[in-house]
Structure 1
Amino acid sequence: MNQEHVKDSARIFTSIVIIFNPNSTGDAPELAQQLHSKLSATLSYQTDITLQPTEHAGHAVELAREAAGKGGDVLVVSVSGDGGYNEVVNGVMHAGNPQAVCAVLAAGNANDHSRITGTKPLAEAIAEGHVRNIDLLRIHTGKNEDEPDEYAHSYIGFGLTPVIATELEKGGKGAITEMVTVIKTFSKFQPFAIRQSDGKRRKFDSLVFANIPEMAKYATLSEADNHPSDGKFEVIVFPHMPKWRVLLTALRATTQGLVEQPSVSSYEFTTLKPLPYQVDGEVKSVEADVTVRVECAPSALPIVG
């Protein structure tokens, strides 16, 4: 069982906002409506339950921030994959309301966070109202001081492994299909160099900071008994090596899983060139000569589910 901190008293939500993408290639609109109906029929108290469709990329951040910013015991639900949930989490965190709670109902391709942290059907969990807190990853990429922090609920990745994870989500299930995807992606990949905190320049094929032990449905990043509420995250490092060794390691991640990885509460390095990275699957970028710091935000996010 996950070791999130469970509060003794059940939470009664003054409002519930269900955010979803109406143009989702999956079944997000239908699932959002079903959740609305279930909650309306099963909750033992009266509350305002609102369906909020998004209108454009990044809109979920705005909707979640607005919902949580109204104050009180609001629950913001993301009916989405990991990327959509990332937007909702950031919106809630930016609102600065410690009473606001998040939840995710899996829809779309990538549902690693829901799969790893979920304990029971979401409507049932909301009705019970038991809130627990999980850690988040927070990344600093040299932005202006007045810009809000950027959070990840599951992972932040640079290099090969997050690229493969994204491609795996586009493909079908099964070990054979995943191996083919890994090979195709690997053939196009180039390593990257950074300057680490000791001042030395090193070249990597992949650098991933993980709040959960799995990603991309089947890829096991670490065998460590790491929980998203232990105050630390795992650092999965592929130093630059011959391609055949990188390929074997990547294939092992998608089939058998990697061995136990080191756990830390923060990690810092400096970019040498502009560098793309992924936050819960969403592609972003950081400029050259920027000090990047990834740190754990302990028990930062109240959730149900």
Structure 2
Amino acid sequence: MDTSHATDATDTTDPAVRRFEAICVIFNPHSTGDAPDLAAKVRDQLSQDLPYTPRIRMLPTAHAGHAVDLAKEAAGTPNALVVSVSGDGGYNEVINGVMSAGTTDTVCAVVPAGNANDHHRTTARKPLAAAIAEGRVREMDLLHLSTGDGPGAQSVYAHSYIGFGLTPVVAIDMEKGNKGALKEMVSVVRTFAKFRPFRIQHADGTRAKVDSLVFANISRMAKYATLSEAQERPADGKFEVVLFPHTAKWKVLLKAFRAATTGLGDQPSVSSYEFTALKPMPYQLDGEVRAVPANTEVRIESAPSALTVIG
């Protein structure tokens, strides 16, 4: 759906300032939240407030995973901005679609909709319409996860975090409407009933039983949980590793409470991390649940400045 056709891609001597020829707004029209209304507001505001006239396309998704295809197609348009009106999971699909397009000058942005909006909450600098009018873009690192070889191999990107074990499960549970550290603590206790630690083998051959292992490209999850003291606008080619070795549950509760109140403090910062999943393991990728089979090598790498963003 095009709302305008005239284009004024103003030349500039500053490569960080952009005037977009096309703006593609991707949203779920059947969202239980406010995504359709927010998408319409984005379209109307950009049509009225921008100092130039890009072609604005409304791209509703038809099924789970459709945003990947829509974003990949949109990234084939020169000088395009792809706006995801979604939570963290929807934005994850968009960035994976753009990354699958290969070399592209596409810029990405997210308008928060739904419950999980950790990425926007942690990285946003100014209202999107004002940022687009100003046109100043910046680069952002991504996390890249690759597993195994052959037909079952996975290769996928995350904008915020990749987590195995307890911490990401609790974080998603916290995001389902609870507010305040006390209620978050209740979420932690409830999640304990169905949680079991997992075993991994590190790259040096040593094995460990772990309660939680999170690779974080942002410093905060689920509104109140502060994972590390990482910079909130990540572009340093590294990510933080937050590891909870298996211990008594009351000690894990204390760590979780600390994350929800004062934060966990400094965490190791690396550019890559490898381990082998000794048993089938679910994991959270920007809030979306996936899994790796037993005896699978898992590699997490920073993709430095892989994505250009605005907002």
Both structures adopt the same fold (TM-score exceeding 0.5): yes
**Does residue 220 of structure 2 align to residue 214 of structure 1?**
yes
2:238 to 232, 236, 261: 232
> How far, CA to CA, are the matches of 2:147 and 2:290 in structure 1?
11
What stretches of structure 1 of length at least 5 have no aligned partner? 1-6
Q: Which deviates the most, 179-188 or 87-96?
A: 179-188
Q: Which deviates the most, 201-210 or 175-184?
A: 175-184
Matched with 2:141 is 135
Q: How far off is 1:226 after superposition?
A: 6.0
Q: Which deviates the most, 19-28 or 155-164?
A: 19-28
> How far, CA to CA, are the matches of 1:206 and 1:215 in structure 2?
14
Amino acid at match of 1:13: F
**Does residue 236 of structure 2 align to residue 248 of structure 1?**
no
> How far, CA to CA, are the matches of 2:231 and 2:59 in structure 1?
37
> How far, CA to CA, are the matches of 1:165 and 1:138 in structure 2?
21
- Give CA deviations for 1:206-234 in whole Å, capped at 9, x if unaligned: 00000000011110001244641111000
Question: What is the TM-score of this pair, normalised by structure 1?
Answer: 0.94
Count matched residues: 298
Q: How far off is 1:187 after superposition?
A: 2.5
Matched with 2:156 is 150
**Does residue 286 of structure 2 align to residue 262 of structure 1?**
no
1:67 to 64, 74, 79: 74
| Identity, % of aligned positions | 63
Could you tell me whether the CA contact under 8 Å between 1:159 and 1:277 is conserved in 2?
A: yes
> How far, CA to CA, are the matches of 2:201 and 2:61 in structure 1?
39
- Give CA deviations for 1:173-199 in whole Å, capped at 9, x if unaligned: 122211111110123210000100110
**Does residue 184 of structure 2 align to residue 193 of structure 1?**
no
| SS of aligned partner of 2:175 | helix
| SS of aligned partner of 1:69 | coil
Could you tell me whether the CA contact under 8 Å between 2:276 and 2:295 is conserved in 1?
A: yes
**Does residue 304 of structure 2 align to residue 294 of structure 1?**
no
CA gap 1:292/1:9 in 2 versus in 1, 3 angstroms: closer
Could you tell me whether the CA contact under 8 Å between 1:110 and 1:216 is conserved in 2?
A: yes
Matched with 1:46 is 53
CA gap 1:91/1:148 in 2 versus in 1, 3 angstroms: farther
Question: What is the TM-score of this pair, normalised by structure 2?
Answer: 0.92
What stretches of structure 2 of length at least 5 have no aligned partner? 1-13
> How far, CA to CA, are the matches of 1:147 and 1:126 in structure 2?
38
CA gap 1:83/1:46 in 2 versus in 1, 3 angstroms: same
Amino acid at match of 1:10: V
Q: How far off is 1:110 after superposition?
A: 0.8
Matched with 1:32 is 39
CA gap 1:299/1:215 in 2 versus in 1, 3 angstroms: same
Amino acid at match of 2:234: P
Runs of 4+ that moved beyond 3 A: 143-149, 224-227
Q: How far off is 1:62 after superposition?
A: 0.8
Q: How far off is 1:97 after superposition?
A: 3.6
